Amino acid sequence: MLSKKRFTEVLDIIADMFPEAHGELTSDTPFQLLIAVILSAQATDKGVNKATPALFAAYPDSKSLAQAAVSDVERLIKTIGLYRSKAKNIIRTAIMIEEDFGGQIPQDKALLQTLPGVGRKTANVVLGDAFGIPGIAVDTHVERISKRLQLVKQSATVTEVEEKLMKVVPEEEWITTHHRLIFFGRYHCTARAPKCTACPVLPYCHFGGKLSSK
């Protein structure tokens, strides 16, 4: 398994590779970010960003979306995977925000996860990017990188990956680290064609080749 010291060295390398890593979902408000993240489940950020301008033009806030017809929302997001269930979820989420939280997004991880379509990953993304509340959202990229580098066992659950990262990364760097790991996984250490031969992290990586002895 990769030690904390060696993983910290890897993070420094990734920071140099992607110093401007950031969330790539387009939104103007915390509510819109919440909706975009819900829609991004099993979909690409690029695909979500193509659909949300029309959605947010029609329903810019929780009050308007709570009153929307499911068929109208489905029409606006039909290019996104699972759009039927997602349309129902975002409308129900908007209704709950209006009725249960006074029109405000709860800034609490447990409360956020009571909203339809909101899991731990979504809650961490919204709290971090919208409110600056520290958290590490483990998506497919973060999980893949953590396992390829053997920071965690291959059998580790998403929650175990998150807990391990929270132990080895200082809290004040959780949000930044989350984005950098995503960029590294999305644009370099990809699922199907990782750029192993030109990877500065290779000396630390069992997956991509022999591990450095240093």
Q: What is the pLDDT of residues 109-160, one digit of tens each?
A: 999 999 999 999 999 999 999 999 999 999 999 999 999 999 999 999 999 9
pLDDT, tens only, 49-81: 999 999 999 999 999 999 999 999 999 999 999
Alpha-carbon distance 126 to 124, whole Å? 6
pLDDT, tens only, 45-54: 999 999 999 9
Alpha-carbon distance 79 to 7, whole Å? 39
Scanning 101-139, the segments in alpha helix (DSSP H) are: 109-112, 120-131
What percentage of the chain carries pLDDT values higher than 70? 97
pLDDT, tens only, 156-205: 999 999 999 999 999 999 999 999 999 999 999 999 999 998 899 999 99
Residue whose C-alpha is closest to residue 81's, from 44, 111, 114: 44
**pLDDT of 207 higher than 80:** yes
Chain centre distance of CA 168: 19
Averaged over 201-210, what is the pLDDT?
A: 82
Alpha-carbon distance 192 to 136, whole Å? 24
Confidence at residue 208, expressed as pLDDT on a 0 to 100 scale: 80
> So which residues are the catalytic ones?
121, 139
CA torsion 17→19→25→26, rounded to 10°? -130
Instruction: Please answer whether residues 90 and 39 qualify as being in contact, where contact means their C-beta atoms are separated by less than 8 angstroms.
Output: yes
Positive/negative CA dihedral, 178, 156, 117, 102: negative
Scanning the chain, the segments in alpha helix (DSSP H) are: 4-17, 30-39, 45-58, 62-66, 70-77, 83-100, 109-112, 120-131, 140-148, 158-168, 174-187
Averaged over 13-39, what is the pLDDT?
A: 97
Confidence at residue 206, expressed as pLDDT on a 0 to 100 scale: 81
φ, ψ of residue 211 to 5 degrees: the values are -80, 135
pLDDT band at 209, cuts 50/70/90? low
Q: Which residue has the tokens 């680290």?
A: 177
Confidence at residue 1, expressed as pLDDT on a 0 to 100 scale: 86
pLDDT band at 214, cuts 50/70/90? very low
Alpha-carbon distance 70 to 66, whole Å? 10
Alpha-carbon distance 31 to 37, whole Å? 10
